[in-house]
């Protein structure tokens, strides 16, 4: 497989996963957490995302097909769940709940919403299915695509680990403003997921 294919694959996954856009989201979702908690969450989220994208890269739509789930239904479900997270960010329910909870009882955002649907969302999963489909039958090609995916998730992890610097630069007021703004963007993204799913079913206009 040509080197240009892997460059294209990296660009595709980088745009779909959007590490730069995820960094402020990570800051907002983990606001008020200690550095070691953030580091653990970042590592878990990255590991889960790599596992999910590898699974979809290797087995494709058969994973969902085995459970009788279409990619369209997966998009709609992911969008609905993401919308709930957006509402929490917009109305400070997440921070208030953290204040009411103590220690280890706080919810862990590493699997949801960080690993999925933000890092390993329907778009990233579909991209892995398409990219591995291009090199199907060649072990080196499959390994190359998986390596590209791990590299992109690695960029996400590095930006997550630098979240503390970003939070200090923005300050508490800045974080609150960014949280509200990103809540709106997440709400819009979640609606787009649902619309994409409905479009796949032929229930929404192109």
Share of the chain above pLDDT 70, in %: 90
Whether residue 110 contacts residue 29, with contact meaning beta carbons closer than 8 Å, is answered with no
The CA distances from residue 37 to 40, 43, 129, 172, in Å, are 5, 10, 33, 19
For residue 19, which of 148, 111, 110, 118 has the smallest C-alpha distance?
118
Checking if the pLDDT of 160 tops 70, the result is: yes
Q: How would DSSP label each residue in 32-68?
A: T--HHHHHHHHHHHHHHHHHHHHHHHHHTTHHHHHTT
Token pair in block for residue 80:
């609905």
Structure letter (DSSP) for residue 117: I
The pLDDT score that the predictor gives to residue 103 is: 45
Whether residue 18 contacts residue 155, with contact meaning beta carbons closer than 8 Å, is answered with no
d(CA 156, CA 154): 5
Checking if the pLDDT of 128 tops 50, the result is: yes
Token pair in block for residue 32:
């008020």
pLDDT digits (tens, 9 = 90+) for 40-98: 999 999 999 999 999 999 987 677 778 888 778 877 887 787 788 778 778 866 545 44
Provide the whole-model pTM.
0.73
pLDDT digits (tens, 9 = 90+) for 90-114: 886 654 544 444 344 557 899 988 9
């Amino acid at each position: 497989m040509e080197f240009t294919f892997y460059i294209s694959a990296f660009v595709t996954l980088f745009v779909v996963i959007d590490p730069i856009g995820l960094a402020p989201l990570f800051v907002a979702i983990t606001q008020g957490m200690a550095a070691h908690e953030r580091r653990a969450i970042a590592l878990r989220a990255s590991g889960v995302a790599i596992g999910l994208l590898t699974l979809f890269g290797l087995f494709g739509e058969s994973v969902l097909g085995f459970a009788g789930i279409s990619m369209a239904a997966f998009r709609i479900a992911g969008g609905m769940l993401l919308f709930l997270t957006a509402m929490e960010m917009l109305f400070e329910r997440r921070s208030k709940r953290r204040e009411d909870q103590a220690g280890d009882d706080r919810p862990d955002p590493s699997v949801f919403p960080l690993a999925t649907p933000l890092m390993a969302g329907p778009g990233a999963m579909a991209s892995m299915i398409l990219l591995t489909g291009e090199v199907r039958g060649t072990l080196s090609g499959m390994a190359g695509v998986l390596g590209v995916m791990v590299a992109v998730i690695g960029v996400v992890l590095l930006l997550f680990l630098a979240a503390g610097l970003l939070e200090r630069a923005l300050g508490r007021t800045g974080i609150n403003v960014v949280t509200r703004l990103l809540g709106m963007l997440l709400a819009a993204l979640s609606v787009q997921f649902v619309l994409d799913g409905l479009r796949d079913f032929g229930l929404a206009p192109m």
